[in-house]
């Protein structure tokens, strides 16, 4: 029985040997968020690290013109609101005088009914003017809020039309100057090469106690542990469980196959 077990021991160990391709820890697929013509596409940046400058620029001239107009409108709304607030304070003072005069005269026998009605109408007109100014202020506040929201949306669209990849390895610039793109069109692929990632697909027995075992890369023992183990079977690799190892010092070349042993 012991000899039989020893005969199949190499096969058991081989079942825990995997080959995984060393990939960047993150790959970013940047797509167009808005339509427009490509004004700038630095194809020469492929194979370099982004320094923060614009790599792909979608035409944003109309957006910037609209932003300028909205900024002007916002300033006008705010100035008008300040003036209206001042007018409201003035009108409150006028109404107070009209109201006080109404109270002094409403019971006087020396005033005719026609005169009292005129005084009352003047007082009510003054009060209605206050309400009109308050309504105007409410409208102005809504216009200010709507305009500020439109500016935020415009700023977001303008920012997304200027594609940068600071600190990332630029793998592919997918457009050229003069192209017209629609939302969802691929603009740029960039990668984080600061770390590497190995993806394995483990069978149920391996996944159950894999954290208790040691990881060997290309035959050499490591202190690595699994960064992620998905406890639900993979959609593509049926009956297998995806596991990931993150390498802090992956080296200069990616996409090479690495032998991974778990024992």
110-128 pLDDT tens trace: 889 999 999 999 999 999 9
Strand partners of residue 189: 29, 172
Averaged pLDDT for residues 185-194 = 96
Helix (H) or strand (E) holding 83: helix 61-105
More confident position, 187 or 204: 187
With a cut of 80, say whether residue 230 has pLDDT above it: yes
* Residue-wise burial string across 212-225, b where 16 or more C-beta atoms lie within 10 A, e elsewhere: eeebbbeeeeeebe
More confident position, 68 or 207: 68
For position 95, what pLDDT does the model report? 95
Averaged pLDDT for residues 128-154 = 97
Q: What helix, strand, coil percent values describe the chain, rounded to 5?
A: 45, 25, 30
What separation in angstroms does the CA of 118 have from each of 91, 111, 114, 181?
19, 11, 6, 69
Instruction: Find the angle CA(145)-CA(146)-CA(147) to the nearest 5 degrees.
Output: 90
With a cut of 90, say whether residue 133 has pLDDT above it: yes
Averaged pLDDT for residues 241-246 = 91
Band of pLDDT at residue 207, cut at 50, 70 and 90 = confident
Phi-psi region of 46 (alpha: psi -120 to 50; beta: other; left: phi over 0): beta
CB 37 within 8 A of CB 140: no
Band of pLDDT at residue 75, cut at 50, 70 and 90 = very high
For position 11, what pLDDT does the model report? 43
Q: Quote the pTM value.
A: 0.76
* Alpha carbon distance 42, 52 (integer Å): 13
Residues present in the chain in total? 263
What separation in angstroms does the CA of 79 have from each of 76, 133, 172?
5, 15, 49
Band of pLDDT at residue 4, cut at 50, 70 and 90 = very low
SS3 of residue 190 by DSSP: strand
For position 59, what pLDDT does the model report? 97
pLDDT tens digits for 50-67? Answer: 999 999 999 999 999 999
CB 170 within 8 A of CB 50: yes
Question: Mean of the per-residue pLDDT values for the chain?
Answer: 90
Exposed, middle or buried: residue 228 (CB in 10 Å: 0-12, 13-18, 19+)? exposed
Averaged pLDDT for residues 150-160 = 96
For position 164, what pLDDT does the model report? 95
pLDDT tens digits for 22-53? Answer: 999 999 999 999 999 999 999 999 999 999 99
For position 23, what pLDDT does the model report? 93
With a cut of 60, say whether residue 5 has pLDDT above it: no
Lowest-confidence pick of 7-21, 89-103, 244-258: 7-21
With a cut of 70, say whether residue 162 has pLDDT above it: yes
CB 77 within 8 A of CB 149: no
Band of pLDDT at residue 204, cut at 50, 70 and 90 = confident
Specify the DSSP class assigned to residue 46.
T
Does the CA dihedral 73-78-82-85 come out positive or negative?
A: positive
């Amino acid at each position: 029985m012991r000899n039989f077990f020893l005969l199949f021991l190499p096969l058991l160990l081989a079942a825990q040997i995997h080959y995984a391709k060393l990939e960047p820890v993150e790959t970013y697929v940047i797509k167009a968020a808005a339509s427009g013509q490509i004004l700038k596409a630095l194809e020469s940046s492929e194979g370099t690290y982004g320094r923060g400058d614009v790599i792909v620029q979608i035409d944003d001239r109309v957006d910037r013109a609209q932003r300028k107009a909205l900024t002007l409108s916002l300033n006008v709304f705010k100035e008008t609101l300040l003036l209206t607030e001042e007018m409201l304070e003035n009108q409150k003072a006028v109404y107070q005088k009209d109201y006080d005069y109404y109270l002094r005269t409403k019971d006087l026998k020396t005033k005719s009914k026609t005169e009292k009605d005129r005084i009352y109408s003047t007082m009510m007109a003054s009060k209605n003017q206050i309400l009109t100014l308050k309504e105007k202020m409410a409208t102005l506040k809504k216009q200010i809020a709507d305009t500020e929201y439109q500016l935020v949306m415009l700023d977001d669209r303008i920012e997304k039309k200027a594609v940068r990849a600071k600190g990332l390895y630029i793998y592919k610039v997918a457009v050229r100057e003069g192209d017209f793109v629609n939302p969802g069109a691929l603009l740029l692929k960039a990668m984080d090469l600061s770390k590497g990632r190995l993806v394995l697909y483990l069978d149920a027995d391996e996944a159950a106690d894999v954290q208790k075992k040691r990881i060997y890369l290309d035959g050499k023992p490591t202190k690595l542990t699994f960064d992620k183990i998905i406890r639900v079977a993979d959609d593509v690799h049926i009956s297998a469980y995806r596991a990931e190892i993150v390498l802090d010092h992956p080296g200069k070349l990616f996409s090479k196959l690495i032998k991974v042993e778990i024992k």
